[in-house]
Amino acid sequence: MPDDRPVPLDEYPVHQVPLSMKHVATGDRNAYDRCIFQVFDHDGRALLVLGLGVYPNTGVIDAYATLRIGDTVHAVRASDALGDDRTDLAVGPLRIAVDEPLRTLRLSCAADPDDADSLAYDLTWTADFPALWEPHHVQRRGGRLTLEGRRFVQAGRCAGTIRVGGDTLPVTADRWTATRDRSWGVRPLPGEDGGRLAEEFATEGFHWIWCPVRFDDRFLMVIVQEDADGYRTLNDATLVRPGHRDRQLGWPRADISYRRGTRQPRSAVVHLTGPDGREPLELGVEVLTSLPLAVGAGYPPADDWQHGTWRGRSWCDRRAYDLSDPAAHPLAGYGVTDHAARCTLDGRVGHGVFEHGTFGRHDPSGFTGFDAVAP
């Protein structure tokens, strides 16, 4: 008989539907609720990407942390059975503590007790700007709803320490930038049956830019998703300045300079426009270091672990990946990559994440198929 007793969150007036907070309003197995954080220094030496996810209808909670230094990615992944206390954001050695909602969070990873040189960190994440809603995200394949997500994004700073390989990296608020994304809804999990939808509605191409940038006195968010022919299915550019109304910056258009023989950007210029159409702005993006989310972080098309998959109770895996040989990770190019970047806007210098992925055909970029790369 299933255990359907009330859970701790049921004590609070936060219900949206007549169900226990143990349950979500949909029976879709792909229901999810998760977060991602990016923490990086302004010299491009280190990029830490970490996150945690809950998958109520598969009964899984998992988390990950990946740190790139040089050509090495140090990864920690953990998974377990989802419990009743949704305020306990911890899996194995990985933990996220909400000290003050939308303002201060504590991010930590305990070292492997059998390896003092393993990846560990203890960081305080502090927001510099209010959380900003991203556009409501909806995708369909044929007649089926495959993705419906609600997200907010935020930029701030971190302070604390990262330890790996016997070295300690001091993380300071003045020399490091931190961004994060918080999302929930329905999103495809591994194990979906392709069937007719996969055969008759195959993806020809996908182009994605997600770019939060923090300046001293303002925060810029740009998001673009396009189909193979350039049809835009997600579009937003918003400038946030404390004490001012959020400013919409039109239809963002990106000119991306790719590394020869790849689809990995070296730099980009994102063209923006003020509300009256007569104030062109250019966001300059210089990539400092990059971390493919399919290597260690569990994002598709990772071939060793993906989010939401059942690995048994108390599963934890630590490993290192060598990025010096692209042939060692052939699927990484078909996933999204987070690029830590130095950015310029209207004479100001800031730092942010240029998250980018382009696979298959993309007519505006001149890519004709999945095997096409930059000349």
**What are 35-80's pLDDT values in tens digits?**
999 999 999 999 999 999 999 999 999 999 999 999 999 999 999 9
Structural domain that includes position 105: 32-185+199-365
pLDDT at 116: 86
Give percent of the chain with pLDDT exceeding 70: 98
pLDDT at 1: 46
pLDDT at 343: 98
Residue 93 lies in a domain: yes
Residue 26 lies in a domain: no
The CATH number of the domain holding residue 329 is 2.40.370.10
Residue 10 lies in a domain: no
pLDDT in tens, 296-348: 999 999 999 999 999 999 999 999 999 998 888 988 989 999 999 999 999 99
Residue 36 lies in a domain: yes
Between these two residues, 327 and 256, which has the higher pLDDT value? 256
Residue 327, Cβ density class (10 Å: 0-12 exposed, 13-18 middle, ≥19 buried): exposed
Residue 194 lies in a domain: no
Global pTM reads: 0.96
Count of domains observed in the chain: 1
Residue 7 lies in a domain: no
Residue 23 lies in a domain: no
pLDDT at 3: 67
pLDDT at 246 over 90: yes
Residue 233 lies in a domain: yes
pLDDT at 200: 85
